[in-house]
A and B are shown apart, each in its own frame.
Chain A
Amino acid sequence: MTTALTQRAPFDRTLLLVVPAALFMLLLFVYPFIYGLLLSFQPGQGGWLANYHKFFTTDNLWPTIWTTLRLALPATLINVGIALPIAYKMRVKSRYQRWVTTILVVPITLGTVLIAEGMLTYFGPKGWLSQFLQITGLYEGPIRLTHNYWGVLISLIISGFPFAFLLILSYITGIDPVLARAAATLGANRSAQFRHIYLPLLAPGLAMCFCLAFVQAFSVFPSAVLLGAPAGPTRVISIAAYEAAFEQYDYSLASAIAMIMGFVQLIIVAVVLGARNLFYRGPVVGGKG
């Protein structure tokens, strides 16, 4: 009766291959994270929650959450929202699909600083775009797209779009095209095919893409400094953490700010992934799996 239950399978030695990656994660992520977490509870003065108390009562600290959300959420929504129809159009392999995809993805190779430099030159008050608009008479006044909210938003879109696009493209091309064909024979026109077949099957992938793009956008830092107004309108939470760490040398407060930043991201991600569970998440092919 008990022999079958007490017999255990021999230890699978290939599991040992996980050890280097696990060690890497432990040393470079888990340990610093726990160190930072504990450090945030050890301020120079006051009780163990003093840092968090200070954050939520200081006027140039707690609004950074809202400032960052004001940038990250619209940027993510715009990126996912624009990437979706473009990726949908690109789902059929054609000769120009590869060229368009390459062009759309180039910004990912540039990095935030290069994009910021380019934007300062191109979108600045005396930049090319401003001169072009004045010469063609389309818009007379100076354009203010740098050193403000818009500069950071545009930069987040430029640098975040390729990532969202590639992710959604891979989700879309994973959906068996014969499903859309079957829907067509049953009377679904193009928009009905998208609404009833592609969108429900994409929803979980879109949610994942949103989460990843959001986390990336929320941690915005160089753009906010180079293209924004870090003193006020674009004072994002990473700037607050940076100042605490490297200008005030208050590493404990900086760690607390970093924890709060991570926590806000966690909440948004949890909400989105929770909504994702309402959708079908199984294989997206039409035949025997």
Chain B
Amino acid sequence: MKHDFNELRLDRVTRRFAGAGGHAFAALNELTLTIKRGEFIALLGPSGCGKSTALNCIAGLLPLSGGTIHLDAQRIDTLPPERRGFGMVFQNYALFPHMSVARNVGFGLRMRGVPSAEIEARVAQALSLVQLTGQAHKLPGQLSGGQQQRVAIARAIVIEPPLILMDEPLSNLDAKLRVETRSEIRRIHRELGRSTVYVTHDQDEALSLADRIVVMKDGVVQQIAAPPQVYGQPANLNVARFMGYRNVFPLAIEREEGERVSLSGPDFPLTGTRMLPLADGRAMVALRPDDMVVGGAPDGLNTLSGRVDNVEYSGRESLIDIVTASGLKLIVRTATPVAMGDVVRVHVPVERTLVYPMEAAA
């Protein structure tokens, strides 16, 4: 088992399951990804998108239906999990209930035949890294959820694996604990520098933790990019919808000039930025609530008006629903105070008006 590596290469990794009616369906379809040493990769997507399947395939807990996985020059997808040497943190922690915290954390080291004096030292080090010194003799059942999660993390990192796999480790924690443990994970990754593959359905987690995000849907990769790209330039409508572009609606295409697209609809004209090649006729526009500004644009472009239908207060800003004359509902995040029933104008910059091709009918 190597202690470090230059790259982990996934080549068209596919995992099929027998579905209803005997048809095999691909829970994971030709995932191709190269992870470099020290990188933090997030697999992001809704339930059923294949992200947990991908993680289990990397760990060796699921055999591949197709494709290969290489750790540098060595092919590892034929190895059982106990020979791959990756540390894994499970969603429900999977702590051994009959062992103390210290024995849980030291389990991997015991399996490797490390001498017990060294085990003690390394376990103590791992526990102090996750700030659980003093809990070494407790049983998992005596710990809170957040503490159990940190024990699970310590158990995975103490074996100094070349790769750490995390399967939605924060989803069983309450909101405040989630944010705190997220910072812990970020700190630990900075201190140890170990490559990590992190599965989540929460875009905030992915944006704040990852060097690169792999957005998936229905087993297929939608986009692999750094957080600012995924956030600001979603590769397609699936990614855009998932990353919070809540205003998605069709408009007719008037004119295309390079990347600029002029569109028109029953209420207003819009000029947008083309993200993908468009067919003639109509296109889909995606707008982020936070990119939309209450008030008219200085150059008059991309301004629309509507009546405020709902105000969701959340402290510094509010999330307001605006209904245009033709009944189109838009969601806008703004710090400007508005009241129900107000007629307001909003505008959105051209670079933030993203235009995608029409979707095929589902």
Contact = CB atoms under 8 A, between A and B. Distances in A.
Interface of A: 176, 178-179, 181-189, 192, 196-197, 200-201, 279-280, 282-289
A188 B98 CA distance: 16
Contacts of B5: none
A183 B97 CA distance: 12
Interface residues of B, number: 34
A181 B94 contact: yes
A185 B141 contact: no
A181 B81 contact: yes
Given A187-B159, A201-B97, A201-B98, A289 B107 contact: no
Contact of A286 (B86, B87, B90, B159): B90
A282 B97 contact: yes
B97 A284 contact: yes
B96 A286 contact: yes
B97 to A, nearest CB: 6
B242 interface: no
Interface in B282-336: none
B93 A187 contact: no
B208 to A, nearest CB: 24
B112 A286 contact: no
* 8 residue pairs, one from A and one from B, having the closest CB atoms: A287-B92, A280-B98, A187-B111, A186-B108, A182-B94, A286-B94, A184-B81, A185-B88
B80 A189 contact: yes
Interface of B: 59-61, 80-82, 84-88, 90-98, 107-108, 111-112, 139-141, 145, 148, 155-156, 159, 165, 172
A197 B141 CA distance: 16
A259 B59 CA distance: 58
Contacts of A197: 96
B97 A187 contact: no
A69 to B, nearest CB: 32
B82 A184 contact: yes
Contact of B93 (A196, A200, A286): A286
B141 A283 contact: yes
Contact of B155 (A179, A186, A201): A186
A192 to B, nearest CB: 6
B89 to A, nearest CB: 9
Contacts of A201: 97-98
A288 B93 contact: yes
A185 B59 contact: yes
A176 B94 CA distance: 9
A181 B81 CA distance: 8
Nearest to A285: B97
A179 B107 CA distance: 12
Given A185-B82, A196-B107, A288 B92 contact: yes
20 contacts: A178-B92, A179-B97, A181-B81, A184-B82, A185-B81, A185-B88, A186-B82, A186-B107, A186-B159, A187-B112, A187-B159, A189-B82, A192-B111, A201-B97, A282-B141, A284-B97, A286-B95, A287-B91, A287-B94, A289-B141
A286 B81 contact: no
A186 B82 CA distance: 6
A189 to B, nearest CB: 5
Nearest to B84: A185
Given A179-B96, A182-B90, A282-B141, A288 B82 contact: no
A192 B81 CA distance: 13
A26 B57 CA distance: 59
Contact of A185 (B61, B92, B148): B61
A283 B140 CA distance: 11
A287 B155 CA distance: 15
Contacts of B82: 184-189, 192
A189 B111 CA distance: 9
A184 B90 CA distance: 13
Contacts of B111: 183, 186-188, 192
A6 B81 CA distance: 61
Contacts of B59: 185
